[in-house]
Every structure is written in structure tokens, then in C-alpha cells.
Amino acid sequence: MTFSRAGFSGSPEFPGFWAGDEDSTWDALRASVVAGITAGASGISFWGFDIGGFSGPIPSPELFLRASAFATFCPIMQLHAEFNHHRTPSADRTPWNLADRHDDQQLLEIFRRFSALRTRLLPYITAEAEHGIATGRPLMAGLCFEFWTDPEIWSAPGQYLFGRDLLVCPVTTEGVREVAVYLPEGDWTDVWTGDEFAGGGWIEVAAPLDAIPVFARANAPMWCALFAR
């Protein structure tokens, strides 16, 4: 395999890819969501980005945790930062360094929960990756892959399917603690609360820093037990 940030026709045969050297900004986080969805549409199934950005001033705790939540539901979850050459203070985008730099141990605790959740999800991710290899369906798929006849999906360009069973809506705006989520046709379950919803409309859901809006298909294997905080 390769680990690349650029490619050409045929590149999906040699995964994986990442989004490139983003600055630690909210705009870059939003661009990473777009990059992941469009990479999947280009046949690149195994893709990731630098959590919290790569260069520039270090991310705020909120930006880093929103990026960590998104990365938990990306094909590749990775930490990376520009070369610091032992400069102080360190600009590493590791959770332990950022917790020290911001004097915010909650950052480290919440990241640990996301990391543990990612580990619990590995059997699901592995199964969905194998399905993608067999069928060509990207692991991170825009809603148009399945709900192309629904015109409302284009009003929710930042949402995507992670595997076949999970609908993900990353939070990419500073200061937000509640977001609007579009649920396509079908029955969906909020993985954090167990609340059930009929699709085909918009709902408002809570978005605390230690969670990310994720919904499971009601008729799919129930993954909710994996999400206990």
C-alpha cells in the first residue's frame, strides 16, 4: 500500500490517502469533511486527515475534539503535525500535548473516549471495509450513493454514511451544541440516546463536545451498546 495525499486514475488500488497539510482552522475542518466524501466518490475508500490540522497555531480544545469526533468515523483515524524539531512550546497535535498547552485535562479524557469507541467499532469497520472492497462502495459514502432520488440530501452536504448502517453528521461550527440533521427515508436510531426517528425530514439533536450526531438504521445490527459514554 501507499500513504499519499495525491493520485490519479487507478490510485484506489493502492490505499490509503489523507487530505494533505491543513491549517488548524474551522474552515480546514469543513474542507476535510468535503474531501473525505469526494474521495469516496472518486473510488478512494481508505482516507483520513490530520486531526486538528497540521500547521499554524495549535487548535483550540473545541476544534480538536470536533475533529477527533469526525475522525472516529473516518476510514483512517490519525494524528499528525508539522515537524517541530524539538522547539518549545511543542506544536504537536497530540491530545496529551494539547491538554498541557491549554491546561485542559477534559480534552484528554474526551479524546480517550473517542479512541476507545473507535477500538470497539473495529469489527464493524473491518466488515464494512471488506464489503467495500468486494463491491466498490466507499467506506465513507455521500448520501447520494443511496438516496440519489431525494433532492433534500443536497441540503445536507456534510452528512455521510459510514459503512452501510451508520449516518454521521460532523459538527464543524465553533460554539454549536445543537445541530439540524437530515434523516433520509427509513427508520433511524440515535446511537447515543436510543431514540427512534422516522426518516424523510429534519430533526434537531444535541451535540455536546463528547459526542457527534450518529444514527443507525433501525433494521440493522444494533450498535448502540458500543456508544455508551
Across residues 164-183, what is the average pLDDT?
Answer: 97
Q: Is the pLDDT at 68 greater than 70, yes or no?
A: yes
* Long-range contacts, 142-151 (Cβ 8 Å, 24+): 142/37, 142/38, 142/40, 142/41, 143/184, 144/41, 145/40, 145/41, 146/184, 147/184, 147/185, 150/184, 150/185
Distance separating alpha carbons of residues 217 and 224, to the nearest angstrom: 11
- % residues pLDDT > 90 (the chain): 78
pLDDT at 229: 53
Question: For 160-178, what is the mean pLDDT?
Answer: 97
Confidence of residue 149 (pLDDT cuts 50, 70, 90): very high
Categorize the per-residue pLDDT at 228 as very low, low, confident or very high, splitting at 50, 70 and 90.
low
Max distance between CA atoms of the chain, in angstroms, equals: 53
To 10 degrees, the CA torsion angle through 62, 68, 72, 77? 170
Q: Which domains does the chain have, with CATH numbers?
A: 11-117 (no CATH), 138-227 (2.60.40.1180)
pLDDT in tens, 82-110: 877 788 899 999 999 999 999 999 999 99
Among 34, 118, 45, 120, residue whose Cα is nearest residue 79? 118
3-state DSSP helix/strand/coil % of the chain, to nearest 5: 35, 20, 45
Kindly indicate the confidence band of residue 221, based on its pLDDT and cuts at 50, 70 and 90: low
> What number is the average pLDDT over the span 122-134?
94
Q: What are the cell numbers at 211? A: 459526542
Q: What does the block give as the cell for 159?
A: 452528512
Q: Which of the given ranges, 9-13, 42-46, 72-76, has the highest pLDDT on average?
A: 72-76
Report CA-CA distances (Å) from 113 to 52, 71, 117, 145, 156. Answer: 17, 13, 6, 30, 27
Per the prediction, the chain carries an average pLDDT of 92
pLDDT at 210: 96
For 106-126, b/e burial (b = at least 16 CB within 10 A) is: ebbebbebbeebbeebeebbe
Q: Which residue has the higher pLDDT, 1 or 60?
A: 60
| The length of the chain, given as a count of residues | 229
pLDDT of residue 87: 83
Distance CA 110, CA 63 (A): 13
CA distance 38 to 140: 9
Give the distance from CA 100 to its chain's centroid. Answer: 25
Picking from 186, 187, 192, the residue whose alpha carbon sits closest to that of residue 213 is 192
Question: Which pTM was predicted?
Answer: 0.94
Q: What is the pLDDT of residue 222?
A: 57
The partner residues of 211 in beta bridges, in order of sequence, read: none
Q: What is the pLDDT of residue 8?
A: 82
